[in-house]
Each structure stands twice: as structure tokens, then as C-alpha cells.
Amino acid sequence: MKITIALDGLQPLYARLKAKSQQDFLDVLKETTTYLRNTARKKTPRGDTGKLQQSLRQVNPTKSRDGEVGYTRSYAPHVEYGHRIVRNGKNIGYVPGQYYLKSAVNDTRIEFIRLATGALKK
């Protein structure tokens, strides 16, 4: 299962930086991707084993693609968004989502703006 979260509303800033300099653009994307990974790691619930936190992965941006941050554990979306508890075919409850990745993305949005505007001023 793949979930995509984008920094919506920041496309004009994104486009201006990309037009100014491809290298500055890639540098900002790499810093932003690393910031997201580090922030997500801090916010990811540890649980009993810490396996969800350990499954966090980062793919650095290149000229042909943006960076990616995600989890390899199949249950990551269930922890993020919540899930039903079913026993013997009966719905017995609901575990609410923890929205740890959404929170990390919101924090990263602020960092991206700071990095991009700084790169545009160079």
C-alpha cells in the first residue's frame, strides 16, 4: 500500500526555486526529505518492539524524482489512520489513528519554506 502526502500549496515556491537552480532545488529537497525522516522518526510510536520506527526509510531526490520517506511495515497506515478491531467476524472496537506522519509533514512544510526562501535569496 502506498500513501502519498505532498506539500500542497507550496507549488509556486517549489517552481521558483527549480527555475533558479537545479542544484539548489535538489539540495533543498534533500534537506527537506532528511528533515521529514528525522521528524517522523521522533514522532513514530515505538510500541512494544520498535519495528515500525525501525522500518522508516528515505529515498533521496534526484533530477527525475522527488525524495520519499515511508515505512516498510504493512501496518503503518493502520497506526497512522486508525483501524477496526474484529474478533470472530464481529466489530468489537476501533483504535483511533495517531497521525504521526501527518504531524511530521506539517512540521516539514515550515522547514521547506525556510530552506527554499533562503536558497532563493542567495
Q: Is residue 41 in some structural domain? A: yes
- Domain membership of residue 32 (yes or no) is yes
- Residue at 102 is within a domain: yes
Q: Terminal CA-to-CA distance of the chain, rounded, Å?
A: 40
Is 1 a domain residue? no
**What is the average pLDDT across 9-14?**
78
- pLDDT average, residue stretch 79-100: 94
Residue 73 per-residue DSSP state: S
Kindly report the pTM of this predicted structure: 0.84
86 in a domain, yes or no? yes
Considering only CA atoms, which of 92, 118, 112 is closest in space to residue 11? Answer: 112
Q: What is the domain range of residue 35?
A: 11-121
Q: Coil, strand, or helix at residue 119?
A: helix
Residue 80: pLDDT band (50, 70, 90) is very high
Q: Residue 78 falls within a domain, yes or no?
A: yes
| Stronger pLDDT, 86 or 18, i.e. the higher one | 86
76 assigned to some structural domain: yes
Domain for residue 27, yes or no? yes
